[in-house]
Amino acid sequence: MASENKKVNNQKYNGPVQRFLQKIANIFVPLLPGIISAGLIMGLTNVINVAAKNAYNTVWWFAAIRSIGFVMFGYLAIYVGMNAAKEFGGTAVLGGIMGSIFITNPALPLLLKAEDKSAVILPFTGKPFAPGMGGLLASLFMGIIIAYLEKK
């Protein structure tokens, strides 16, 4: 009886929408410990910073802990791109590279040109390219697109 119920449920809940949502869950669930720990670190350091009236801003260990929280959030787009590409049948490294476009890092040469007249102009919008725009959803979509293009 249980095996029959399982077969009925598998047929009932195995549509294209459910399969797509399962793939999205497979992308984000492994990242939950990182998201939670980054949120806790950022939250605790912000509470300490406000309660101490910025007394710890110049202390090296406090700056290191805040940097860890910031980096965990800031570079999450790379892991989303990697997981998305892997989940949709592509190479994880290519998804990570596409995800890295959507992080804001002052070392990126295009950031230096964002306000300059030599900025890279996007063809669809006519606006200058701004790394960091789009966030996790853009990284997710690019991971899916890169997997699709790789399979073709």
33 contact partners, CB below 8 Å, separation of at least 6:
none
pTM of the model: 0.76
| β-bridge partners, 128 | 121
CB atoms closer than 10 angstroms to residue 140: 24
DSSP per position, 6-68: HHHHHHHT-SHHHHHHHHHHHHHGGGHHHHHHHHHHHHHHHHHHHHTTTTTTT-HHHHHHHHH
pLDDT at position 92: 94
Query: What does the domain layout of the chain look like in residue ranges?
Result: 28-74, 76-152
What is each CA distance from 107 to 97, 100, 103, 111, 131, in whole angstroms?
16, 12, 11, 8, 11
CB 129 within 8 A of CB 110: yes
pLDDT along the chain (152 residues), means of 10: 78 82 93 92 92 86 89 88 95 92 69 60 76 81 93 86
Q: Taking Cα atoms as reference points, which of 72, 81, 83 lies closest to residue 38? A: 72
